[in-house]
Each structure stands twice: as structure tokens, then as C-alpha cells.
Structure 1
Amino acid sequence: MKQLQKQLEESYQELSVLNNEIPKALMGNSAFKPELLNSLIEQRNSDINTRNAEITMLEQIVIEEKYPNKMYRDDTKLNPCLARILR
């Protein structure tokens, strides 16, 4: 899970760099064409969504192993952070 979190952080950093390049591209001061930047940004967003989904699934597996009794997993009032993870 740590590796996925590291990859997610790197994707967010790359997305930030790409977003910062947009004004330069629009003003003609970038080596990147706006279309290429758009494509790269879409790819980074897709990577981020995939990694977030993988992390959420791993968190759910950890919870299920920690609380094998279904009652604990389904009772989001008992553990409010479960509501976010189990969505």
C-alpha cells in the first residue's frame, strides 16, 4: 500500500506541473502544445483515479481482516471512517 501511496503522490505532483504549464502553452511560451498537455493531464487524472480505487480496495481488505465479523464492517456509526472507505 505504501508503494501505491507513493505512486499516487508522484501522480499528483506530475499533475501539478502539467497544470502549471497550461498558461505558458496558451501564451505560446511552452514547448508543449495545449492538446498534448490536455492529453497528459487526462492520463494523470486517470492514473490518480485508478490508484485511489486500488488504495480504497486495500483499505477495505485490511478492515475485513481486522474485523471479520460483518457487524463491525457494516456499522459505519461504530467507525465513521468506514463510511468513506466502504463507499
Structure 2
Amino acid sequence: SRLQDEFEVSFLTLSHRLFSRNLGAYSEEQGGRFHQDVRDIERRYQGRWDVTMLADYCWLLKRETEDENRKRTRQSMKEKKKRFHKEHE
């Protein structure tokens, strides 16, 4: 719908202004992911676009980012342990 398209453009513009240092290159895959997230949230909120929905989306992104950071840390620790054991064999 036109309203949804306007909302998505406004949200992307706002996100870019607020978080531009963290964005890096915005790929096609990330754009597709954004649109999928918006569709999922729209289904959850049954088409009602409001502040609560926007806050929900922001928390979703924050949780995913934290999970990715934790995952990377765990993997790097695994690699460190592997390397340590190889060196001490």
C-alpha cells in the first residue's frame, strides 16, 4: 500500500540519519531482509502502524545484533582453545 511504502522510506531515511556510522554498505540482501521484517511485523500488528510496532522492530534489530556479537565471541574462543591445544600437544 502507499502508506506502507511511505512508512518504509521514512523509516529507512530516519535509520540512515541516526545510525549512519554503523550502516556500512547497504546490500540488496539487507534491503530484502528489511522488507521481510516489515511484512512480518505488519502481520503481527494486523496492519496497524504505530509507535509500539516501530519500537518492537528496533528491539528486534538490537537483539539480533547482540546475538551475532555473542556468537562471534564464542566462535573466536573456540578457535583460541583449538590453537592452544595444538600448540601444547
- The TM-score bracket by the shorter chain reads 0.3 to 0.5
> Relative to total residues, which structure has the larger helix share, 1 or 2?
2
Higher relative contact order (CA 8 A, sep 6+): 1
TM-score by length of 2: 0.44
TM-score by length of 1: 0.45
